[in-house]
């Protein structure tokens, strides 16, 4: 029998706290995590005491035993952290939780991410310390220290090697802001972005302008996973995990920017495993949620997940093609990390589930297969395909 998780696990509940600008959360990070977990159970209509596992990513500070104690869970059976920083673990954490559920290691696992940066400091700042050693000693003294600075040279190299146009970055940004205008939850709701606004925005680090960079936000999000045979016991239409994969290509984490393939989002080796598990291909994808740390990574992710080729990229990655409901491949239909909220990408899974349930702020009709690409340019990245009942 082929080993696969295809269709064996369903996401039946989603929970979100309100999203705040970074440092603005009135609540502590742990309290946000609890609120999101409880909201996911409430959304599903499941007694929270049934939770027996947690999975997270990016070194989330709110550990499962503490959560289990706070919620008075009868027992905790699965507590899992996906290695790697940034948003690269978003789909990987769901995959880990799904693997536990599919194999009977646990029965009801919550994937969560909670961030309160006012409490713990921001990502987009360089280290303010007197001395530095190891790998950062070869970059930080040259003023290369923030995430934007760490990824900009990959994108510059992409333009050079593959003749991809910087206009593709702009298209990704404008589409996200367009979608956020229909989404009252979005931080950038009511703040439309025009083509001129984008062109006139300041450089952060070339080739990234201000609107190529994600927000940093406070808040928490959670997903509730159960075995497929229980999927219809809950309040909403289930979202089935069709395929999931995580990893990096050869030597992607070689030190000081020495990955053999440099101009990459790191999905080239990962996406084929995801599609294989799902028994689907890129042409089956109806809507894509593509993690944006920076727009250049989205462009690479679109290409490396097979939605277009390098040669097609300049024609395909255009605003009209990326917006819902009319575009050929709507992406980031809630506004994503750029314009809805930066919940380390877990809001992208939630938006896919809204699309499956039919209550997205930018609903695409008859959309059954949903790609979520978590991470780009970090190590490891992860991706998943979610499907409606029709895809099982």
- Name the site residues for other proteins (rule: CB under 8 A): 124-146, 148-149, 152-154, 156-157, 160, 202-207, 251, 254-258, 262
Query: Residue 69 or residue 256: which is nearer to other proteins going by CB?
Result: 256
Minimum separation from the CB atom of position 173 to other proteins (A): 16
Give the integer Cα–Cα distance in Å for 332 and 309: 20
Minimum separation from the CB atom of position 377 to other proteins (A): 13
| Three-state SS letters, 222-236 | EEEEEEHHHHHHCCC
Give the Å distances, CA to CA, from 153 to 158, 201, 257. Answer: 9, 20, 9
Query: Residue 69 or residue 137: which is nearer to other proteins going by CB?
Result: 137
Interacting residues of 131 by C-beta distance below 8 A, sequence separation 6+: none
Query: Residue 170 or residue 179: which is nearer to other proteins going by CB?
Result: 170
Given 262, 291, 310, 319, the catalytic residue: 291
Minimum separation from the CB atom of position 67 to other proteins (A): 33
User: What is the 8-class DSSP label of residue 7?
Assistant: T
Minimum separation from the CB atom of position 353 to other proteins (A): 35
**Could you give phi then psi for residue 303, rounded to 5 degrees?**
-70, -45
Give the Å distances, CA to CA, from 258 to 84, 263, 266, 299, 311. Answer: 18, 11, 13, 21, 26
Minimum separation from the CB atom of position 258 to other proteins (A): 5
Q: Does the annotation mark 342 as catalytic?
A: yes
Given 20, 177, 275, 342, the catalytic residue: 342
Handedness of CA 120, 82, 274, 235 (dihedral sign): negative
Query: Residue 38 or residue 144: which is nearer to other proteins going by CB?
Result: 144
Beta pairing partners, 15: 222
Query: Residue 163 or residue 328: which is nearer to other proteins going by CB?
Result: 163
Give the integer Cα–Cα distance in Å for 261 and 251: 9
Q: What is the set of active-site residues?
A: 291, 342
């Amino acid at each position: 029998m082929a080993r696969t998780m295809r269709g064996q696990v369903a996401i039946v509940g989603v929970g979100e706290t309100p999203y705040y600008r970074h440092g603005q959360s009135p609540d502590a990070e742990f309290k946000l995590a609890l609120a999101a977990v409880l909201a996911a159970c409430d959304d599903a209509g499941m007694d929270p005491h049934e939770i027996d596992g947690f999975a997270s990513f990016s070194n989330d500070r709110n550990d499962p035993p503490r959560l289990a104690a706070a919620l008075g869970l009868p027992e905790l059976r699965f507590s899992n952290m996906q290695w790697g920083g940034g948003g690269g673990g978003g789909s990987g954490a769901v995959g880990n939780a799904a693997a536990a559920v599919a194999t009977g290691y646990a029965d009801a696992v919550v994937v969560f991410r909670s961030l309160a940066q006012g409490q713990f400091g921001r990502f987009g700042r360089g280290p303010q310390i007197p001395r530095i050693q190891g790998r950062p000693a070869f970059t930080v003294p040259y003023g290369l220290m923030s995430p934007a600075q760490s990824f900009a040279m990959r994108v510059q190299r992409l333009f050079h090697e593959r003749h991809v146009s910087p206009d593709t970055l702009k298209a990704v940004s404008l589409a996200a802001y367009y979608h956020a205008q229909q989404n009252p939850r979005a931080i950038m709701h009511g703040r439309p972005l025009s083509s001129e606004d984008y062109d006139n925005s300041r450089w952060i680090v070339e080739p990234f302008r201000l609107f190529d960079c994600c927000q940093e936000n406070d808040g928490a999000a959670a997903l509730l996973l159960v075995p497929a045979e229980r999927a219809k016991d809950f309040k909403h239409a289930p979202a089935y995990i069709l395929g999931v994969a995580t990893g990096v290509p050869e030597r992607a984490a070689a030190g000081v920017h020495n990955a053999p393939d440099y101009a990459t989002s790191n999905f080239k080796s990962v996406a084929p495993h995801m599609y294989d598990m799902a028994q689907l291909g890129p042409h089956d994808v109806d809507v894509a949620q593509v993690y944006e740390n920076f727009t250049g990574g989205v462009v690479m992710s679109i290409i490396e997940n097979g939605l277009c080729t390098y040669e097609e990229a300049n024609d395909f990655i255009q605003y009209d093609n990326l917006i819902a409901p009319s575009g050929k491949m709507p992406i980031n239909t809630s506004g994503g990390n750029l314009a809805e909220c930066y919940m380390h990408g877990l809001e992208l899974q939630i938006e896919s589930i809204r699309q499956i349930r039919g209550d997205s702020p930018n609903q695409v009709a008859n959309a059954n297969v949903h790609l979520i690409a978590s991470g780009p340019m970090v190590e490891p990245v992860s991706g998943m395909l979610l499907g409606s009942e029709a895809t099982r």
